Amino acid sequence: MATDDDEKKTKEVAVLKPKKLKDGRWQVSLGITVENGRRINPRRQFQIRADAQEFCNTEKLRRKAHGEITANADGTKVAAWMKMDARMEAAGVSLSDVKEWIQLHDDLVGAGAGSLHDVGSRALEDARAVQLRGTVGQCYEAWAKWLISQKRRGRYRSNARNFCMNFIQGDFVHRAVENSADDDKAGSKVEDVIKGSSIGDEEDKGWTGFGADRPMLEVTSITMKSYLQYHPGYFGVLSAWLGWATNNNWLPRNPCLGLKPEQPDQGSVVTLTNAQATKFLQAAATEKDWEVLTYLVFALFGGIRPEEFRKVSKGSPTLELRWEYLKEDGLDVPPELAKTRAGRTVDLDPVLSKWVDYIREKRGKELAGSMPNRGWSKKWSVWRKKHWEGKWPQDLLRHTFGSNHLARSQSKEITSRVMGNSPEVLEKHYWNWRTRKKEALAYWGLTPTVVMKK
């Protein structure tokens, strides 16, 4: 067994340093080791110093490659190294390769990416995942079928198709396809765009296309960061798609994690003032446009979402909010129209009930059938541009309802239940902090009698 004196003597040995002998040769000590209870000190001799120094450098690199940092090693380790060296030679791996790997390992650990072994293992798993799966186009098609199976709303599926195809095909190519009604013409336009000189200009302006034939694994965080700088509004849909791809083994991890664009500070939520709401109601009533007036009163005083009035899905029948859903105690929004897909009942506030009576009286016929008719989106767009200057704020009518309801109730819990949102979402997206309770009480007093007198 080795003693303390043996260890002391070990430290005194000049390990892996050329030492000139009396006969002119150069000797290198490999270090004192203990093998089978015996203390040994293997050495190597060389004719010239250069050979001895080269051996020292090689042996140091070899020991570092095998994880031995100290100069000494027992016989078992040396035997293991010799076997490893034989395998390296059979695999065609040189010590220079090992040196690069060691440096790469240090760089990866220093960058917090993990060890070379961990990174390599993940890369191998990723490569196998690509072999088992397919391209970005195939992944989107699989996700689109899943959305249908989950009965996701047609509007969401439409946005998903547009956003994902924009990412896959590119801005310019995608527009060429969308602008053509003929499939053959669309294909030729895509080919012309790809071959044409204009694609270079588009590359300076935005995303030119990922390519549906490329492996899904090539969708990396770097790729998404590059794309989202041009399309920050697409983050939600793309992150949902790639999150699904991750859960279903198309990707090892969601490349959108940590890339959510910062939303600009837009101040408080934009809502209609009481004067603006009155102007809208007056205009629709004066023009006897009962379809627009119906939309306005149920959005302003019932909080109905735009997509809950009319739902158009490709390949599915058109769904519409109908007068038959109106009961004495409220308006039933069926599950297929409701955003939550669970259905909900909208309470009839006194001001809303008075507007319903007003429409029933002025129309002079029974309230039946769909509230918005065919071509409603175009009609509402035309009417809105006629009575509103500038860009129309998103969900302006529903924001107005939510903000005034909250100012009157002074309870996030009550208003969030009425609107079908969480209190956190309500406060962040529907609460205009400038709305006062006095103004809200006046808002809920905008009956037909009050509005038509102004």
pLDDT of residue 313: 63
Angle at 265 between CA 262 and CA 271, to 5 degrees: 125
- Here the tokens at position 235 are 């983050």
pTM over 0.75? The answer is no
List every span in the chain annotated with CATH 1.10.443. Answer: 274-453
Distance CA 33, CA 39 (A): 6
pLDDT of residue 75: 59
- Here the tokens at position 35 are 């093998």
Q: What is the 3-state secondary structure (H, E, C) of 286-306?
A: HCCCHHHHHHHHHHHCCCCCH
End-to-end CA distance of the chain: 107
Domain boundaries 274-453, corresponding CATH code: 1.10.443
Burial of 116 (0-12, 13-18, 19+ CB in 10 A): middle
pLDDT of residue 337: 78
List the pLDDT tens digit at each of the 454 positions of the chain. 445 554 444 445 577 889 899 999 999 887 766 666 677 777 889 999 999 998 888 888 777 766 654 445 565 666 676 677 777 777 787 777 878 888 888 888 888 778 888 877 777 776 665 555 678 888 999 999 999 888 887 778 888 898 888 888 887 544 444 444 333 433 333 334 334 333 334 344 567 777 767 888 888 888 888 888 878 888 889 999 999 998 888 887 888 988 887 654 445 578 889 999 999 999 999 999 999 999 999 999 998 888 888 876 666 677 788 888 888 888 888 877 777 667 778 888 999 999 999 998 988 778 888 888 878 888 999 999 999 988 888 888 988 988 888 888 888 788 777 777 777 776 666 666 677 888 989 999 999 999 998 6
